[in-house]
Chains A and B, each alone.
Chain A
Amino acid sequence: MTAAPGAPFFLPVRPVSLGVLLVATVVLGFVSGFPDGAGVVLAFSMVVLATGLRVVARRGAYSYAPVPVLSVLVLETATAPVGFGTELLAGLAGLAFLVWLADDPSRPVGGALRGLPEVAPPALALGIAWSSALFLPSGVVPLGVAGALLALALAAIAFLVGWPTVLDREGARS
């Protein structure tokens, strides 16, 4: 359903997913390297801005709602100090962002629950990656290997984006 003239101007706020995202982003802002609590303020303001864009039922503004949250997440993780807790927090913030995306106020309620099958594979991958980082000896070389693997993943995703029909399975009838 798309917003159109005659639609309500404001959409309802979905508090649970918003709360999860706010907590994850603010905590990440707190542990990030920004001085004088600027990370917290930045995280809070960006989440509020994204929520504002999302509840305004104007199509143009609505589609830009994820941009502030994604920007602040990338900035915070880029400046965050190295640590197992921080890594886990960054991954959880990414998952919280996905849950927030699924709880779209312009769509029927229960999106977060329905989106769990989509959030589960990234969560599983995150768990494996974090466990590996925690229990295996790390250094500069594994970081390079991880970067190369991610680059490979990016190439695979670019391939999928270019040819989405790879995921199609056409029906057959006899």
Chain B
Amino acid sequence: MSVRVPAHPLRWRPLTPLLLAAGAASLVFSVLFRNPVPLFLGLPLLLAPVAAGAVGPRGSPAVGVSLSTEGTGPEVRFEGTFTPPPGVDARDLVVTVERPPSLLGDPVPEFDWSGTVARFRANWFAPNPVITELVPPSVVWRDPLGLVEREAVTSTEPLVITRYPPELLRIGAVRLERTTPLPGENRSRRVGESGEFHGIRLARPEDPPRQINWRATARAGQRLSNEYDLEKTGDILILLDARPTPLGPAADERLFSIARAAALGLSDAFLSVKARVGLGVFGEFLESVPLATGRAQRIRIETALKGAHLTSVRPPPERCAVSVRRAFPHGLTAVVLSSLADDSSADLTPYLRRRGYPVVVLSPSPLPLLAGASTLAEEDEQLAQRIARLARRNRIAHAWEEAPTIDWDDYWSLGHFVDFVRRPRVRRAG
């Protein structure tokens, strides 16, 4: 039994009607002036579109696509290779690569064609930490004359670019509170380098000297290492504030994008040490990803963060605390990502604390974004920046009264935050 595969139909390009119109005009002139010369011009013009449609592939060409991304920090290198089926010249493939709006750099990639393969390389950069999706390039077969085209069949998934401050990867060593009570605690079956003694195994090159069991090594005549039951380091909730602020939708969107990237970086760091991580995005209502660990949880969190968006309404902050209490266990350490752009933005913290959640606030500062958008004269701009910094410092100080609050103004560095979380200090008054 044969199954018909749906194909993208042949499309005429705008040049085709132009040629046909010129051919028709030649025909009309020929008849009007009783002159066969225009007929001879019209003949190639009228036949070329039909020849173009007939010469090309009769169905959608299945093009093999291989995409990859490279780069660290702000650098994003997007590369791809397109291999057409036999009989189709790679130079007839028209590849359109879209640069996501959150990335900067030359929007037109470098192309390199040979008869059998087409390649491209785009060098972009992320001005701020970002999670963004790279839409797979569209591939179209177009005849050399540019008269007809046919969309190619490709099977590629969108790639996700995640860029966040590298210091976040160090944060996983933080000891978090467990929210699972000890009598009913389910011990991890995994083995690793911490926790209770599990057994002895052959040493691996990457094992540190402290893990080598030297007595057993001496007895066995080969290097042996201790292995331990892996401890669960604890649980953490990452909570994003997706409510609107007086900064306006554009600035809110950029700050929220930075917060999403930081949230993914935090979850990556804690998931890498087997901690359980939960996610909450509080806009009009709370959208949550329950506590879990492992690769699947990473994908769940990434998917939720990709789909998270700002809301246009500002719900009561108590709704957030009530919803968090329903979705997550009591006593969970919560990292709240909020811009604290106005005084009312800090209102989540007291409600969360009253519900029994220790809170740390990480606040991406709006000042670097606003500094670039100002139209004031230089002196006025300096004065405005100074006032804005004072107001921001005052707001952070007020937020500190409720919970430790870290002002994040250098978007590519979170060293202060990581140091604070790893070695928390009591803030001195004044």
Chain A residues with CB under 8 Å of chain B are 1-7, 63, 66-67, 70-71, 73-74, 77-78, 80-83, 86-88, 90-91, 93-95, 97-98, 101-102, 104, 107-108, 110-112, 114-115, 117-123, 125-126, 129-130, 133, 138, 140, 143-144, 146-147, 150-151, 153-154, 157-158, 160-161, 164-165, 167-174
Q: Which of A122, A146, A172 contacts B3 (CB 8 A)?
A: A172
Q: Within residues 19 to 68 of chain B, which ones have a CB less than 8 A from any CB in chain A?
A: 19-20, 22-27, 29-31, 33-55, 58-60
A82 and B37 form a contact (CB under 8 A): yes
Chain B residues with CB under 8 Å of chain A are 1-7, 9-12, 14-20, 22-27, 29-31, 33-55, 58-60, 89, 91-92, 94-96, 106-108, 111, 113, 143-148
Q: Which of A1, A80, A151, A167 contacts B95 (CB 8 A)?
A: A1
Q: A90-B40, A104-B146, A126-B40 are in contact. Are A171 and B7 (CB under 8 A)?
A: yes
**11 further A-B pairs in the complex, CB-CB below 8 A; given A164-B148, A165-B9:** A6-B107, A78-B26, A108-B113, A111-B91, A117-B55, A129-B39, A150-B42, A157-B46, A161-B49, A164-B53, A172-B5
C-alpha gap A91/B60 in the complex (Å): 33
The interface residues of chain A, by DSSP majority, are classed as helix
For residue B96, give the distance in angstroms from its CB to the closest CB of chain A.
7
B41 and A93 form a contact (CB under 8 A): yes
B91 and A108 form a contact (CB under 8 A): yes
Residues of chain A with a CB closer than 8 A to B47's CB: 121-122, 125, 153
B96 and A126 form a contact (CB under 8 A): no
Residues of chain B with a CB closer than 8 A to A80's CB: 35, 37
A146 and B39 form a contact (CB under 8 A): yes
Chain A's closest residue to B142 (CB) is: A107
C-alpha gap A129/B54 in the complex (Å): 21
Q: List 14 A-B contacts (CB under 8 A).
A: A7-B108, A67-B18, A70-B19, A74-B38, A87-B40, A94-B43, A101-B15, A122-B43, A122-B44, A138-B36, A154-B24, A160-B49, A161-B49, A170-B6
C-alpha gap A83/B35 in the complex (Å): 9
For residue A106, give the distance in angstroms from its CB to the closest CB of chain B.
9
Q: A4-B108, A5-B107, A167-B53 are in contact. Are A94 and B36 (CB under 8 A)?
A: no
Chain B's closest residue to A83 (CB) is: B37
B54 and A167 form a contact (CB under 8 A): yes
For residue B246, give the distance in angstroms from its CB to the closest CB of chain A.
33
Residues of chain B with a CB closer than 8 A to A87's CB: 36-37, 39-40
Q: A74-B22, A80-B35 are in contact. Are A91 and B41 (CB under 8 A)?
A: yes
Residues of chain A with a CB closer than 8 A to B58's CB: 167-169
C-alpha gap A129/B58 in the complex (Å): 28
For residue A105, give the distance in angstroms from its CB to the closest CB of chain B.
12
B44 and A94 form a contact (CB under 8 A): yes
